[in-house]
Amino acid sequence: MTVLILGGAGYVGSHATDEFLARGYDVAVVDNLSTGHRAAVDEKARFYEGDIRDKTFLSDVFTKEKNIEGVMHFCAYSLVGESMEKPLMYFENNVGGAITLLEVMNDFNVKHIVFSSTAATFGIPKETPITEQTPQNPINPYGESKLIMEKMMKWQASATDMTYVALRYFNVAGAKHDGSIGEAHKNETHLIPIILQVALGQREKIMIYGDDYQTEDGTCVRDYIGMADLIDAHIKALDYLKTGGQSDAFNLGTKTGYSNLQVLETARKVTGHAIPSEIGPRRAGDPDALVADSSKAQAILKWTPSEKLADIIQNAWSWHQKHPHGYED
């Protein structure tokens, strides 16, 4: 049986492809390479270059791949700032792509989907840590598009025998332990890779966005989840669906928050570099603290995260040192 990985050339998708293969699954990958990298996809996976919004293309993939037992969806746009500037682009790609995908899954009688959702569906939470009961009120088009996708899957699951798991990621970081694949965005916006670019000498300093938040040291607090733990949750989610588990959503984090300054300090220790920094103005749309309560995933999916912040940064550092220019090396 085959796992179809949509967005398998991207940051999370390429690590999922690698790990499903390592665990003996047959894997096919679809990616339009708009942000992904062909070199990130293991050669053992069959690769189809194309866009999931293209129904003819996607139906052709499902025709060729006769034994799809589950679909992993990693092919949405995911930058908060970009979504504020180009909301329609987010709804068109994220929501539009999911509509076509659900139609094709229905046409070909494929029953299970595991889908990347996000802490951004919660907006500014009224409670912390955030549970699955915490109300979802997104404050940007990215989070809104993912919430719409969650709801679409819910209604489609209630109308058909399709089942889904939505995994709401908190802050994903890190890379495969051996540093062979990792994070490579054209315009990097995320904290940990930018800090490591400073350590590599590619940037002069890291600008910390704001130190007047309602947190202990005044900088934003985030819950970092390592790549290996994240992918493990996806594999467990697919197993859960295959063994009759009901459609559901789970928060994925570690229940431990780190401030931006704590992340910086940890990166200084891991890399041995001074990593100059400066406090700058706040970035629009940043909640003070986002920390996940993942007890539901632990209880139902039997998922327990094990990577600590220093391990996560160490793995990311291995990747950045081996591939200072990403996949262009």
Indicate the residue among 93 and 171 with the shorter CB distance to ligand UDP: 171
In the bound state with ligand UDP, the residue whose beta carbon lies nearer, of 59 and 197, is: 197
What are the C-alpha distances in Å from 64 to residues 2, 59, 128? 11, 9, 46
Query: Angle at which helices 96-107 and 55-64 pack, to 10 degrees?
Result: 40
Task: Give residue number: closest CB to ligand UDP.
Answer: 220
Question: Given its phi and psi angles, is residue 285 left (phi above 0), alpha (psi -120 to 50 degrees) or beta?
Answer: left
Concatenating the DSSP letter of every residue in 177-216 gives: TTSSS----SS---HHHHHHHHHTTSSS-EEEE-S-SSSS
Question: Among residue numbers 231 through 260, which ones bind ligand UDP (CB under 6 A)?
Answer: 260
Selected binder of ligand UDP within 171, 266, 271, 318 (CB under 6 A): 171
Using CB under 6 A as the binding rule, whether residue 194 contacts ligand UDP is answered as yes
Q: Does 41 bind ligand UDP (CB under 6 A)?
A: no
Tokens of 294: 């993942």
Long-range CB contact pairs, 56-59, < 8 A, 24+: 58/30, 58/100, 58/101, 58/104, 59/104, 59/107, 59/108
| Touching ligand UDP, residues 196-235 (CB under 6 A) | 206-209, 220, 222
Q: Which two tokens stand for residue 167?
A: 């995994």
User: Considering the complex, what minimum distance in angstroms separates the CB of residue 188 from ligand UDP?
Assistant: 8
CB-nearer residue toward ligand UDP: 41 or 289: 289
The torsion region of residue 210 among left (phi > 0), alpha (psi -120 to 50) and beta comes to: left
Please report how close the Cβ of residue 312 comes to ligand UDP at its closest, in angstroms.
Answer: 12
Would you count residue 153 as binding ligand UDP (CB under 6 A)? Answer: no
Alpha carbon distance 277, 261 (integer Å): 9
- Residue 48 annotated to the active site: no
Q: Which residue has the tokens 């706040």?
A: 282
Q: Is 128 in the site for ligand UDP (CB under 6 A)?
A: no
Please report how close the Cβ of residue 46 comes to ligand UDP at its closest, in angstroms: 32
List 63, 109, 189, 304, residue binding ligand UDP (CB under 6 A): 189
> What is the chain's alpha carbon radius of gyration, rounded to the nearest angstrom?
19
From the CB of 25, what's the least distance to ligand UDP, in Å?
29
Q: Interface with ligand UDP includes 91 (CB under 6 A)?
A: no
Catalytic residue among 11, 25, 48, 142: 142
How far apart are alpha carbons 158 and 207 in whole angstroms?
46
| First-to-last C-alpha distance (Å) of the chain | 34
Q: Which two tokens stand for residue 256?
A: 């431990």
Q: Which residue has the tokens 């293209």?
A: 54
Count of chain residues binding ligand UDP (CB under 6 A): 15
Nearer to ligand UDP, 48 or 170 (CB): 170
Minimum Å gap between C-beta 205 and ligand UDP is: 10
* Distance of closest approach, residue 220 Cβ to ligand UDP, in angstroms: 3
Among 86, 190, 203, 242, binds ligand UDP (CB under 6 A): 190
Per-residue x/- marks for ligand UDP, 283-302, CB under 6 A?
Answer: x--x----------------
The residues binding ligand UDP (CB under 6 A) are 80, 171, 189-191, 194, 206-209, 220, 222, 260, 283, 286
Residues identified as active-site:
142
